[in-house]
């Protein structure tokens, strides 16, 4: 017989939950009241605006989502009980009722063990159904009891059906994940994890953790999440707001570098050259080649005076600015300032007066000075530099075949009229980085990083130069032509060669039976990565061979229909060129279906092109003709590995052609 009565205990916990909810509502009420009086109490318009922004964010942060539990755990430490939840809740006297999961004390909720109890006598996990507290589970660490991954509540959380966008995992972060989430802000880390090991979850929770611990610093510099496509970004978009973090930017690399619209596409050969790291060298050389040794003096008439600077000091100024390693445009302004400085010295010497600011401004723009600059250190725009390189790719770094591959067949008449491809915009971004420094984020999380090209990685490096990064990926899921085969090189391009590579191996998504099938592909993928071990013993795998190719679509439709009999989301994944046809079949059969971008859709079936499904997950996945998915691209087997590892509960593989080699 336990020392306490379960019902009484449950009732007490429910009471604490409702009292905490009420306290949170009062906190929000106070924040709202302050928000609405903000402009009256603030001294001036600027302070009012700042205060208004702060309070608006605070009000948003304090929103209570009735469908998620306000707390999910409790620690008993030396006769005191601490409830651990999504955010701090205090009573009217300021006493804590719920501790934020990121608070130092909460760490023990995730890390304490029998071996290292960290002062915790009992750890309690709560079970919830639709926001209602329905059960709890105790581990008496002081009595040597520990559940680990056999916790019923953890199992239920992992096995729950998936609907809608990704959810947070604060209630069940595992120790190996927690170590990454709570790594120091100065640490850049690279997480190599098999499918479904929680890489994305870890990255997002680390962002939330760092924002909590270093709020002021990161508010100024910002936190950025980089994902592979917009479908993925909308899938993860709800996680940070649910954790109270509403000010994190999310973008694809294309969006980061998208200063002009994409108006053309590259041939595969051209794209390969443009994504190659040697393009950085090509652009750098093309830019600095523009400097010319000054050979003429500068002569400026200024009223009745004439000033002169000889070619020799001008050469020195240019050389020094070059040696300082400044970005190009900054160097140009440095040279201008030094020239004006020399003119100023002459004027002071002759007139005995310090010149005015207006005089200095005038001198910096007089024709002899700008003429000298235009010859010795000409102004250039990033677009113009790239246009120049693509019009006539310089020899030296690239071979003739590569130069031909990227040469514009028909150069545009003006730079403005240039039709840039998405790879060109990366080059423009690289060029912009040579001209001026990008402001750096405080922390950047990069997901699916195995697919970054060197030039994409450099675009991210420019935005995280003074911050740290969390790199998430799986070499086995690399599908881009330039996908990494090992992490060191990518980390070098990302500007963090020293980042530790840490593996995650416990799989929370894919059931063991499905993982066993997908793992058969691993030896053929040409990378050396640890396999995931699935925590999930449930799950089903069905392979449906179709004898008559003309029956393939109908059999696929039948599998989707059968899947709908179960709870949860259903994805039909096919080679990209089959997607429209299959959507047509579903529509004709009256089955409502959505595209992967549309996370708000009510439709239970999503039809996803194989090239878009990375990072996503569905309860039931129907894969249509794997051989076509493999044949569609050079890294088709890697793509198939991604596709097969999207299923949370059930996977059906429907095929008329023979299954690809390793699966047959
Ligand atoms: N500690 C955990 N508790 C409960 N669920 C978890 C935990 N860790 C991960 N999950 C769940 O497992 C699933 C997979 O996680 P996530 O998408 O982060 O994996 P991933 O490693 O990024 O996968 P992929 O490589 O396929 O993109 C998600 O539904 C996530 O919520």
pLDDT over threshold 70, residue 91? yes
Average pLDDT, integer, range 229-247: 85
Q: Is the pLDDT of residue 429 over 60?
A: yes
Residues 185-211 have pLDDT tens digits of: 999 999 999 999 999 999 999 999 999
Mean pLDDT of the region 399-408: 98
- Tell whether the model's pLDDT for residue 67 goes beyond 90: no
Helices (H) and strands (E) in the chain, counts: 26, 22
Question: Lowest mean pLDDT: which of 52-56, 314-318, 393-397, 491-495?
Answer: 52-56
pLDDT, tens digit (0-9, with 9 covering 90-100), for 497-532:
999 999 998 998 999 999 999 999 999 998 989 888
Which pLDDT value is given to residue 330?
97
Pick the residue whose CA is nearest to atom 27 on ligand 1: 615
- What is the Å distance from ligand 1's center to 196 Cα? 5
Find the mean pLDDT for residues 238-248. Answer: 84
State yes or no: pLDDT of 495 exceeds 50. yes
439 has pLDDT over 80? yes
State the distance from the centre of ligand 1 to the C-alpha of 456, rounded, in angstroms: 25
* Atom number of ligand 1 nearest to Cα 504: 21
Q: Residues with Cβ within 6 A of ligand 1?
A: 157-158, 169, 172-174, 177, 193, 195-201, 474, 477, 508-509, 615, 617, 645
d(CA 660, CA 626): 7
- Judged against a pLDDT cut of 80, whether residue 263 lies above it is answered with yes
pLDDT of residue 138: 92
> Which atom of ligand 1 is the closest one to the Cα of 197?
21
Residues 6+ apart with CB under 8 A from 503: 191, 192, 193, 529, 530
Question: Is 483 a residue whose pLDDT tops 90?
Answer: yes
Classify burial at 361, counting beta carbons within 10 Å of its beta carbon; exposed 0-12, middle 13-18, buried 19 or more.
exposed
The 3 state secondary structure assigned to 292-333 is CCCCCCEEEEECCEEEEECHHHHHHHHHHHHHCCCCHHHHHH
Q: Is 60 helix (H, G, I), strand (E, B) or coil?
A: helix
% of the chain exceeding 70 in pLDDT: 94
Q: Would you say residue 51 has pLDDT above 90?
A: no
| Cβ partners under 8 Å of residue 459, min gap 6 | 253, 256, 257, 426, 429, 430, 433
Q: How far is CA 323 from CA 286, 319, 326, 327, in A?
A: 17, 6, 8, 11
Q: Which residues are annotated as a binding site for ATP?
A: 193-200
**How do residues 128-183 score in pLDDT, each as one tens digit?**
887 788 889 999 999 988 887 778 878 877 777 776 678 888 888 999 999 999 99
Q: What is the pLDDT of residue 57?
A: 64
Tell me the mean pLDDT in the region 298-313.
93
Calculate how far, in angstroms, residue 199's C-alpha sits from the geometric centre of ligand 1.
Answer: 6
pLDDT for 1: 42
Report which ligand 1 atom has the smallest distance to the Cα of 614: 27
Cα 204 to Cα 572: distance, rounded to the nearest angstrom: 27
Residue whose CA is at the smallest distance from ligand 1 atom 26: 195
Distance 14 CA to ligand 1 centre (A): 29
CA of 240 to the centre of ligand 1 (A): 15
**pLDDT over 90, % of the chain:** 74
* Binding residue numbers: 193-200
Q: What is the mean pLDDT of residues 622-650?
A: 96
Question: CB neighbours (10 Å) of residue 150?
Answer: 9
Give the pLDDT score at 602: 86
ipTM for the whole complex:
0.98
- As a whole number, the mean pLDDT across the chain is 91
């Amino acid at each position: 017989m336990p020392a306490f009565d379960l019902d009484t205990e449950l009732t007490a916990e429910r009471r604490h939950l409702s009292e905490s909810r009420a306290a949170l509502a009062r906190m929000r009420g106070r924040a709202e009241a302050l928000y609405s009086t903000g402009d009256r109490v603030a001294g001036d318009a600027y302070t009012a605006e700042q205060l208004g922004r702060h309070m608006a964010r605070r009000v948003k942060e304090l929103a209570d989502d009735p469908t998620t539990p306000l707390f999910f755990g409790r620690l008993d430490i030396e006769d005191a009980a601490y409830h651990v939840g999504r955010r701090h809740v205090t009573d009217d006297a300021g006493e804590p009722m719920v501790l934020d999961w990121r608070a130092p004390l909460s760490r023990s909720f995730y890390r304490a063990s029998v071996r290292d109890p960290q002062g915790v006598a009992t750890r309690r996990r709560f079970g919830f159904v639709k926001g209602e507290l329905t059960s709890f589970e105790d581990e008496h660490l002081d009595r040597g009891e520990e559940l680990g991954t056999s916790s019923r509540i953890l199992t239920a959380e992992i096995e729950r059906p998936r609907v809608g966008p990704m959810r947070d995992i604060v209630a069940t972060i595992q120790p190996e994940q927690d170590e990454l989430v709570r790594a120091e802000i100065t640490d850049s880390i690279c997480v190599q994890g098999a499918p479904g090991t929680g890489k994305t979850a870890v990255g997002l929770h680390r962002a939330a953790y760092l924002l909590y611990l270093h709020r002021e610093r990161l508010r100024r510099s910002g936190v950025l999440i980089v994902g592979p496509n917009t479908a993925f970004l909308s899938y993860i978009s709800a996680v940070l707001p649910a954790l109270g973090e509403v000010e994190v930017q999310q973008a694809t690399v294309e969006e980061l570098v998208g200063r002009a619209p994409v108006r053309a596409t590259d041939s595969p050969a051209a794209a390969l050259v443009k994504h190659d790291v040697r393009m950085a060298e090509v652009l750098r050389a093309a830019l600095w080649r523009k400097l010319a040794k000054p050979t003429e003096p500068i002569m400026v008439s200024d009223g009745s005076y004439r000033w002169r600077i000889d070619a020799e000091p001008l050469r020195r100024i240019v050389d020094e600015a070059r040696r300082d390693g400044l970005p190009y445009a900054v160097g140009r302004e440095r040279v201008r300032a030094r020239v004006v400085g020399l003119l100023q010295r002459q004027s002071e010497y002759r007139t005995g007066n310090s010149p005015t600011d207006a005089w200095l401004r005038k001198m910096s723009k007089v024709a002899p000075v700008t003429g000298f600059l235009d010859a010795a250190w000409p102004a250039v725009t990033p677009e113009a530099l790239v246009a120049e390189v693509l019009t006539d790719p310089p020899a030296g770094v690239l071979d003739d075949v590569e130069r031909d591959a990227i040469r514009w067949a028909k150069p545009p008449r003006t730079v403005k009229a240039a039709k840039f491809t998405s790879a060109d915009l990366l080059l423009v971004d690289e060029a912009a980085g040579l001209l001026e420094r990008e402001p750096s984020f405080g922390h950047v999380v990069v997901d699916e990083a195995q697919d970054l090209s060197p030039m994409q990685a450099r675009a991210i490096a420019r935005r995280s130069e003074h911050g740290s990064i969390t790199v998430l990926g799986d070499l086995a899921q690399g599908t881009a032509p330039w996908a990494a085969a090992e992490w060191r090189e990518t980390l070098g391009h990302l500007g963090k060669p020293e980042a530790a590579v840490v593996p995650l191996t416990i799989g929370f998504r894919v059931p063991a039976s499905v993982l066993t099938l997908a793992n058969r592909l691993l030896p053929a993928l040409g990378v050396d990565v640890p396999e995931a071990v699935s925590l999930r013993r449930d799950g089903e795998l069905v392979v449906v061979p179709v004898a008559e190719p003309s029956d393939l679509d109908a059999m696929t439709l039948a599998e989707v229909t059968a899947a709908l009999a179960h709870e949860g989301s259903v994805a039909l994944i096919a080679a990209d060129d089959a997607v429209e046809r299959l959507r047509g079949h579903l529509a004709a059969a009256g089955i409502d279906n959505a595209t992967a971008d549309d996370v708000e859709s009510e439709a239970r079936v999503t039809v996803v092109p194989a090239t878009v499904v990375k990072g996503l997950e569905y309860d039931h996945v129907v894969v249509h003709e794997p051989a076509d998915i493999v044949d569609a691209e050079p890294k088709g087997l890697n793509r198939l590995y991604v596709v097969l590892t999207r299923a949370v509960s059930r996977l059906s593989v429907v095929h008329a052609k023979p299954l690809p080699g390793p699966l047959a």
